Structures are given as structure tokens and as C-alpha cells.
Amino acid sequence: MQEQLEGAPLIKPSSTDHPLYEAVVDACRTVYDPEIPVNIYDLGLVYTIDISAENEVEVTMTLTAPGCPVAGEMPGWLADAIGPLDGVKTVNVEITWDPPWGMEMMSDEARLELGFM
């Protein structure tokens, strides 16, 4: 693992200015962890959505725990949700454990849904 430089972000920034970004986020919101009634985007499991000029989508995500029973399937579910979007050329979903997921990564909507607010 590469040493973290002081002041460097833990998570690579997303391509928020790309025209496909909002559609990709909406697709992410259609994927749910079967054990938690909140979509994976609002849970904070999607760390980075990087979309190239050629509309190649790279997603970096995590799971709530390394022992998650759907760890092998979740990246495929996300790729299947994003792939059919108009304009998307390719989709690659990578799992990372750095930084580890924490409840503070959830959106306010997710916290409300799960009774944490």
C-alpha cells in the first residue's frame, strides 16, 4: 500500500461535471444491499464514479463489512445497473477496503430511513 500523503484525499474525486454523472448516480440508487433497506449510494458504499471522455465508467466502492455475504455479487449488480445507460461505453466496478466504510458515510436520507436521525 502506498503511503498516504498529508492533505491528500482518502477517496479519488468523482467526475461530477460529466454529462452522464447524474444518470450513473441514479442507476447506483437502484442497487440495494439485501440486508439493509437503503440503496448502496445513500449508504455511502460508492466512493468514486470516474467517467472518461469516452464514457467509460469506473466505480470504486466498498461494502459494509469484508464478510458481506454478497461481496462477490454486488459489483456485478452495480455494473448491470449502469451498463444499459444511454451513452455508457464500458463499466468497471472495483471493491476497496481503504478507507473502511463507517456509518458517518451515510447520507442524511439513509440515516433517517434507518432511524439514526
Question: Which is higher by pLDDT, 10 or 83?
Answer: 83
Q: Angle 23-20-8 (CA atoms, 0-180°, nearest 5)? A: 105
Q: What is the mean pLDDT of residues 86-96?
A: 96
Residue 25 is predicted with a pLDDT of: 97
Q: Tens digits of per-residue pLDDT, 20-37? A: 999 999 999 999 988 888
Q: What is the mean pLDDT of residues 76-86?
A: 97
105: left (phi over 0), alpha (psi -120 to 50) or beta: alpha
Q: What is the mean pLDDT of residues 69-90?
A: 94
Q: Is the pLDDT of residue 8 over 70?
A: no
Task: State pTM to two decimals.
Answer: 0.87
Percent of the chain with pLDDT over 90: 58
